[in-house]
Amino acid sequence: RVAITAGYTEPDTSDGNTSVSETRKTKRRGFKFSTYAKEDHRKSLFGVAFNPYGNPALPPVFATVGSNRVTLYQCVEGGTLSVLQSYCDPCKDENFYTLCWLYTVTDKDQVEVKLAVAGKRGLIRILSPERLTDLFTLLGSGDSINELKVHPKDKFILLSASKDNSLRLWNLKTRQLIAILGGLQGHRDEVLSCDFDLMGKHVISCGMDHSIKMWSLEGISETVELSYTYQSEKPFPVQSVHFPVFSTRSVHRNYVDCVRWFGKLILSKSCENKIVCWKPELETGQSSTIPEQAEVSCEACVT
C-alpha cells in the first residue's frame, strides 16, 4: 500500500525590477513541488529509475526498490502519481538495493520491457511488468548485490557489483554467468557502484576500499560469444579477470559509493559532499599490472 500526498508551492512572480541577489533566490524556484509517495513498509528506498524504453507518447513510468518490495509508478497529468504495480518478494528478509530496466525484442518484433532487481540475498530477479510476473532468478553471487547495470550495446549482458569484493557479468538470454572481475588486484572490500562506458568496452567500479578501478572487457569477448551457444553437460568455463587496466585511491579519501562514465571522463562521489569529474591517465602500452596509485587528472569538482 502506498500513500500519495499532493503539495503546492507559490510560483515565481518576480519582475524585471528585482535585484541580482533576489533574482538568484527566485531562480531556485524553477521546479515546483507537486506530490510525493510514502510506501507502507516504512523502510528506506535504495533505488529509483525511470523506464527509458517506454512509449514517449504516454506518461513516464518509474520503479522503486526498498525492503522486499518493487513498486511501479506512473506520472500522470496534474503532477500526481499513480501506482501501477507492486511486487513483494516471498522472502521477508530480502532487502532490494538496486534495479535496472531491460528490454528484449520478441519474434513479432515487439519490445518487451523487463526489470532486474537485486539486493541483500544476492539473487537477481528478472520481472516482467507486462506479464505481471517474475520470469527467472540468477544465482551465483557470493554476497549482497549493490548495483546492476545493463550493457549499452548488448541488452542481454548484465553487470552486477557485489559485497563479495567482485563484479560479475551475466548473459540474460542463456542465464549464464560469463565472467568474474576481481581477485589478485581487484577490490579489497565490497563493490558499491559500477558502470559501462558508451561503447561497452570498459567497466568502471568503486567501493569501500576507497579505490576506483577500470576493467577492460575486450579480453573476454570470446567468452561472451561462447555464452550464447554453449551446450555441454560440463559447467560453463567462467572467465576470471584479476587485473584492472587502471586503479587509483587518490581521488577520494573515503569510501566511494557512486561512479559514472561521462564520455571519456569519470564522475565519482564519496561522503565528502562533492562530486569529482576526472580523467584517468592511461599510459600507452602499459601492462595489465597497474600500480595501485595511478595518476589522475582532475577536471572539475562540484560541492
Residue 228 has pLDDT above 60, yes or no: yes
- Residue 207 in contact with residue 256, Cβ under 8 Å? yes
% pLDDT > 90, the chain: 70
Antiparallel, parallel or unpaired: β 176-181 and 239-241 = parallel
Report which of residues 272 and 115 the model is more confident about: 115
Report which of residues 297 and 167 the model is more confident about: 167
Q: What pLDDT shows up at residue 2?
A: 53
Contacts of residue 287, defined as CB under 8 A and 6 or more positions apart, other chains included, come to: none
Residue 303 has pLDDT above 70, yes or no: no
Per residue in 99-155, pLDDT (tens digit) is 999 998 877 778 899 999 999 999 999 999 999 999 999 998 989 999 999 999 999
What average pLDDT does range 277-295 have in this prediction? 55
Count of alpha carbons within 13 Å of 165, Cβ hemisphere only?
Answer: 11
Q: How far apart are CA 157 and CA 173, in angstroms?
A: 8
Strand partners, 256: 270
Residue 158 has pLDDT above 70, yes or no: yes
Per residue in 13-68, pLDDT (tens digit) is 445 554 545 555 555 667 788 888 899 898 999 999 999 998 889 999 999 999 99
Whole-prediction pTM: 0.84
**Model confidence at 7, in pLDDT bands (50, 70, 90)?**
very low
Q: What pLDDT shows up at residue 246?
A: 93
Where do the H-state alpha helices sit in the chain?
20-27, 221-229
Q: What pLDDT shows up at residue 199?
A: 94
Q: How far apart are CA 216 and CA 157, in angstroms?
A: 15
Residue 189 has pLDDT above 80, yes or no: yes
Antiparallel, parallel or unpaired: β 61-66 and 69-76 = antiparallel
> If DSSP codes are grouped into helix, strand and coil, which group holds residue 218?
helix
